Homo-oligomer: A and B are copies of this chain.
Amino acid sequence: MSTIRCHITVSLDGYVAGPNQSGENPLGEGGERLHEWALATDAWQAHHGGGGGERSADSEVIDETVAGVGAYVMGRRMFAGAGPWDPDWRGWWGEDPPFHAPVFVVTHHAREPLEMEGGTTFHFVTEGVAAAVEQARAAAGERDVMVAGGAATVQQVLAAGLLDELYLHTVPVLLGGGERLLDHVGAPRLEIVKTVGSPTVTHVKYRVVRQAG
């Protein structure tokens, strides 16, 4: 049975993006600082088709998060931004996106599947986040489903009781505003599975405990 997982970076004050997000600045003010730790790793660079980067405890965390993923779920804003829906949009990632697996995009706009190079196919799901998770689970087989984001989609999956594992990467940055991750998620029961500290980020993997009944 596949695990429904999410890994995401948050600021110490709980934001996944800074204030004043826009089309030109989707991460908001200061938001790029959230991702410096990942960009510095060899694992991230290799996964995104580049070279360089450092081998570190953070690299091992990246390796762990990308291993064994058979399908992805993402929100429409992560795929296409918040603006008007462009039916010909092919994502932010070029012709060979770094997913190499089926990606189920939650949107109100029906569209035929979009097959890219390297094994990535975007499927557009109009029946909501639970349907997207179910279709991703079926596509993933024995492998895991990764909820790629953004925050609203993670919140919906968590609030719906569909998430099994949340791996948070917390960086010592205070953004003071923006898009919070852990609002509107109800009261899921979480247990710490593991903690990995590094000089620039704290990784904690949580298991979401299924409530009886």
Contact = CB atoms under 8 A, between A and B. Distances in A.
A12 B182 contact: yes
A172 interface: yes
Given A14-B13, A202-B202, A202-B204, A197 B192 contact: yes
Contacts of A39: none
Contacts of A188: 174
Contact of A197 (B12, B197, B199): B197
Contacts of A201: 192
Nearest to A182: B13
Nearest to A172: B190
Nearest to A199: B192
Contacts of A197: 192, 194-197, 204
Interface residues of A, number: 29
Nearest to A175: B187
Taking each of A170, A186, A206, which has the highest tally of chain B beta carbons within 10 Å of its own beta carbon? A170
Contacts of A13: 14, 182-183
Contacts of A185: 174, 176
A190 B12 contact: yes
A142 interface: no
B174 A187 contact: yes
**Lowest 8 CB-CB distances: which A-B pairs, in order?**
A195-B197, A172-B190, A13-B182, A14-B14, A202-B204, A195-B202, A172-B192, A174-B187
Interface of A: 12-14, 168, 170, 172-174, 176, 182-183, 185-188, 190-192, 194-202, 204, 206
